[in-house]
Amino acid sequence: MWRLARNIIPTRCNLRRRGVVLDTVCPLCFDADESSNHLFMACPMTLQVWFASPLGFQPPPQTDLNAWLQSWLSAKEPLAVQLFCVCLWKIWFFRNQAIFNQVVFEPRMVAASAHDFVSEFNLANPTRSVDRLQIPAQVWIAPPTDFLKANIDAGRDKHGKVTWGLVIRNHESEVLFAATQSPDIMADPLLVETLGLRWGIQTVLELQLSNVMFELDASVVVKCFNGLSTIASISPFISDCHDLFGSLVGSSVSFVNRSCNVAAHELAQVAKSIGSRTWVGNAPLKVWSLFSLDLFL
Ligand SMILES: [Zn+2]
């Protein structure tokens, strides 16, 4: 990390700068010079690693690597930071494997390797932090084969106006559908999350999907939906959710930690500036970058 932050990691551009005569083309995509910025933030192969990782995001384009590292190291949950750092390290490791050992750089494998490393490390070092013990519950993991996961999150802008984000991914972590919604209503946080669930279920129904595992980071809403709690103010909307949910085959609604809901959270934040949008497949990079820019303000 330190070498990366100082930009002295021996990428091809850095080697050239130090007087080594070599071709500076990126060994992964062969489509650009291999600067640190390109290798870790812009290379199409690396972008796939980031999205396939449990973090499930895209790096902000046209952002300085150093600023990006700073924003990560200062503002995120410990487990997410740990994953982030291990992903960086694995990208570098497998980049070297590609160059020196002719091992094909396979983004999904790189992401899986980072995930496995963090899981094993934390299992072997349980005293480091209680929070880090339960990896599977702390990072987004892909659903089983034949299932989809729909992550939903809600946000409110500074005037209290509601926004939502939805990401639907398959067992290979591929994004099948992404949406932002800005319904032009005001509501309290609990209601916002409940209406977000209703919107998510509606959207999934419209897409005619089944076997969908819905995930929210609003534990109270999930408890109410699953009949473990009752709160009068949201009861009518929980009923709406149940009515809609009745038409969905093989589906469930579960609570996840915020660290598992990063992609939906980011879309809900972006919805504040772009309003309601839908994408079949992943949201374009410039949408993800809007969120990341927010981090620097
Ligand atoms: Zn590249």
Each residue's pLDDT tens digit, 151-172: 999 998 888 889 999 999 998 8
* Calpha distance 22→235 (Å, rounded): 66
Q: What is the pLDDT of residues 190-214, one digit of tens each?
A: 999 999 999 999 999 999 999 899 9
pLDDT for 42 equals: 92
Please list, in sequence order, all residues whose beta carbon lies within 8 angstroms of the beta carbon of residue 246, skipping any fewer than 6 positions away: none
For the chain, domain boundaries: 2-138, 148-296
Mind giving me the DSSP string for 164-175?
EEEEEE-TT--E
Taking all residues of the chain, what is their mean pLDDT, rounded to a whole number?
85
- Spacing, Cα 16 to ligand 1 middle (Å): 17
Greatest mean pLDDT among 2-16, 37-51, 135-149, 282-296 lies in 37-51
- Spacing, Cα 287 to ligand 1 middle (Å): 21
- Spacing, Cα 169 to ligand 1 middle (Å): 25
Note the Cα 123 to chain centre separation in Å: 23
Neighbours of 243 (CB within 10 A): 11
- Spacing, Cα 14 to ligand 1 middle (Å): 15
**CATH of region 148-296:** 3.30.420.10
Q: Which amino acid is at 173?
A: S
Two tokens, residue 227: 């009949």
pLDDT for 131 equals: 46
Q: What is the pLDDT of residues 92-151, one digit of tens each?
A: 999 999 999 988 999 988 998 998 888 888 777 765 544 443 444 567 888 888 889 999
Residues measured by CB to lie within 5 Å of ligand 1, the ion: 26, 28-29, 43
Interval 171-187 mean pLDDT = 90
- Spacing, Cα 65 to ligand 1 middle (Å): 15
